[in-house]
Chain A
Amino acid sequence: MADKVLMKGNEAIAEAAITAGCRFYFGYPITPQTEIAAYMAKRMPKIGGTFLQAESEIAAINMVYGVASAGKRVMTSSSSPGISLKGEGISYMAGSDLPGLIVNVQRGGPGLGGIQPSQSDYFQATRGGGHGDYHLIVLAPASVQEMADLTIKGFELADKYRMMAMILADGTMGQMMEPVSLDFDIKPEPEKPWATTGTQMKRPHNIINSLSLVPEELEEQNFKRYEKYAEIAKNETMYEEYMMDDAEIAIAAFGIAARVSKNAVNEARKKGIKAGLIRPITLWPFPKEPFMKAADHVKQFISVELSMGQMIEDVELAEQCRRPVTLCNRAGGMIPSPEMVLAAIEEAAKNGGAL
């Protein structure tokens, strides 16, 4: 087994990105993700890479657009308010079919909000965040190891499908330290014949573009992109099931909420309550199958979130409202405690799924 090192989640993302072959990072300082920029500022010059502190989040994402156009692996990171600023560029990248990795270490909102952990950018991430019809591949790590693993995965998926992947973490994941193995088997990067690298007078010119003024053509592009999305939903959906085989009360939670919920499930089992956990790892595509399957034996779902209830809508859609879904949440930078989640499980067990 490979050696493990103790790292912050933010640092694990940065080192994993370098391991994945990313040599270009553009960012702008914002808590609680600035360690990524600081790490890149130290490491990139030593390995022939580029770290550039952009003048704004808007500039940073457009620098990402430039590097992606040139066919190189590239990333940016930010936290909630900064991701809103990147929304324009993310939409353009989607419209131009450009790959890249974007990290959102979420903090509480709306507006300037706070700097404590949150999951309240779920809607923004899973629905695209900017204007127009598009999706990002959204990956939700629940440990420092997964911060690294999903960074590698994110780059691979982005290149494979020629679209952006997002790590949707939160302040806890970014700041906490855990042992992490950085021993990865990196697949070779695919060829990018579409990239704007100069014609060398040997081929017609390549154009990176999201403008399409003929509606029939723009519609066709959207149809094609959504065919690709359907393929991704079929092939790349990831989730973890914990004690779900006989569960009567099922928690839905991702990221730090899933860590807390797992403790609550263990406590509930000690008390003889058949509780389980479904943890989506890809938030888009959302894992519908485990919820549909669970609805056969589960009496009630509980969506545990660090928001006012966003993923709960996807849970209801996934299990097609066959069983009630309740919300157990804290917001604004607060984290639900295992006791709070356990109380929600006990309440559900007592009511036998009745609302």
Chain B
Amino acid sequence: MIVFERPHALIDVPLHYCPGCTHGIVHRLVAEVIDELGIEGNTIGIAPVGCSVMAYNYFNCDMIEAAHGRAPAVATGVKRADPSKFVFTYQGDGDLASIGMAETVHAAARNENISIVFINNAIYGMTGGQMAPTSLPGQITQTSPYGRDPKLCGYPIKVCEMLSQVDGAEYLERVAVNNVKNIRNAKKAIKKAFQNQLDGKGFSLVEVISSCPTNWGLTPQNALKWIDEKMIPYYPLGVYKDRSAEEAAK
């Protein structure tokens, strides 16, 4: 009896991610959800620029590699070209919340019927650990070597809180993948974001608090602890908007 196997939507190749990085977990969750919803053959995924730039080599569905930050605009084009397709983007914090902020906010404002998996690990990983729009106050990075000083470089951007003020957005939830309970919850949120698109409900984004042991300078284990101790207090987990549920409750 098979009790555990690779999801069909995840190609059987070695991932390039660092040891202890949680991208692998989130890839798996996305692939499991694609399998469970039976949508692989009708899905187009959009990879960002950043650590997950090569996600197109890992997902079995059709894939597009977008310019840095532009994935929501590319997804808009793909979805408008054929609304019967399932379209998701997979983006990091630099991609989505810095260079691609305009594309993110306006895709939400238009209630584009797309699903976004947003990895927030508070750092630019691919380029070697620079300050991200989500780096915490005091966080030491390559470009904030004395710790992020909000007086000099501002405060972190809380994407779910910000987008919750955008009327167009349908569903926003922040989850984490630093323990089994959180991982299970993250999968539920991703599934809901994907199901929303299938139901025509519109713009759904799941922010996943993730770890970057390499660039945080922590062991994988301590990186998961750092999520509990530092990240989650600044970025509280939970549902920030669920328009359909709110309307149903009225």
Q: A217 to B233, alpha carbons, bound, how many Å?
A: 46
Q: Which residues of B contact A70 (CB under 8 A)?
A: 44, 77-78, 81-82, 85
Contact B61 A205 (CB under 8 A): yes
| B40 CB-CB contact with A under 8 Å | yes
Contact A209 B102 (CB under 8 A): no
B73 to chain A, nearest CB (A): 4
Contact A59 B62 (CB under 8 A): no
Q: Which residues of B contact A54 (CB under 8 A)?
A: 73, 106
Q: Which residues of B contact A71 (CB under 8 A)?
A: 81
Residue of B61, B62, B81 touching A66 (CB-CB under 8 A): B81
| A320 CB-CB contact with B under 8 Å | no
The main secondary structure of chain B at its interface with chain A is helix
Q: Which segment, of B64-72, B143-151, B155-163, B203-211, faces chain A?
A: B64-72
Q: Which residues of A contact B78 (CB under 8 A)?
A: 66-67, 69-70, 196
Interface string of A67-79 (1 = CB under 8 A from B): 1111110100000
Q: A60 to B72, alpha carbons, bound, how many Å?
A: 11
| B185 CB-CB contact with A under 8 Å | no
Contact B70 A209 (CB under 8 A): no
Q: Which segment, of B51-59, B166-174, B239-247, faces chain A?
A: B51-59
Q: A63 to B74, alpha carbons, bound, how many Å?
A: 5
Residue of A50, A89, A196 touching B62 (CB-CB under 8 A): A196
Contact B85 A198 (CB under 8 A): yes
Residue ID in chain A nearest B102 by CB atoms: A55
Q: A65 to B78, alpha carbons, bound, how many Å?
A: 8
Q: Which residues of B contact A199 (CB under 8 A)?
A: 40-41, 60-62
| B193 CB-CB contact with A under 8 Å | no
Contact A207 B76 (CB under 8 A): no
B84 to chain A, nearest CB (A): 9
Contact A63 B77 (CB under 8 A): yes
Residue of A55, A96, A198 touching B41 (CB-CB under 8 A): A198
| Of A56, A92, A198, most B-chain CB atoms within 10 Å | A198
A240 to chain B, nearest CB (A): 36
Q: Which residues of B contact A196 (CB under 8 A)?
A: 44, 62-64, 78
| A197 CB-CB contact with B under 8 Å | yes
Contact A207 B56 (CB under 8 A): yes
| A301 CB-CB contact with B under 8 Å | no
| A124 CB-CB contact with B under 8 Å | no
Contact A200 B74 (CB under 8 A): no
Contact A207 B63 (CB under 8 A): yes
A51 to chain B, nearest CB (A): 10
B101 to chain A, nearest CB (A): 10
Q: Which residues of A contact B75 (CB under 8 A)?
A: 66
| A52 CB-CB contact with B under 8 Å | yes
Contact B42 A72 (CB under 8 A): no
Q: A206 to B64, alpha carbons, bound, how many Å?
A: 8
| B43 CB-CB contact with A under 8 Å | yes
Q: A210 to B53, alpha carbons, bound, how many Å?
A: 11
| A181 CB-CB contact with B under 8 Å | no
Contact B80 A206 (CB under 8 A): no
Residue ID in chain A nearest B105 by CB atoms: A55
Q: A211 to B16, alpha carbons, bound, how many Å?
A: 15
Other A-B pairs, 17, CB within 8 Å; known A71-B81, A208-B64 = A24-B77, A55-B102, A62-B70, A62-B74, A66-B73, A66-B74, A74-B77, A89-B67, A196-B63, A198-B42, A199-B41, A199-B60, A199-B62, A201-B41, A205-B62, A209-B56, A210-B65
Q: A residues touching B (Cβ–Cβ < 8 Å)?
A: 24, 26, 50, 52, 54-56, 58-60, 62-72, 74, 88-89, 92, 96, 196-202, 205-211
What are the 7 closest A-B residue pairs judged by CB atoms, nearest first? A66-B77, A62-B73, A70-B81, A196-B62, A55-B106, A63-B77, A201-B41
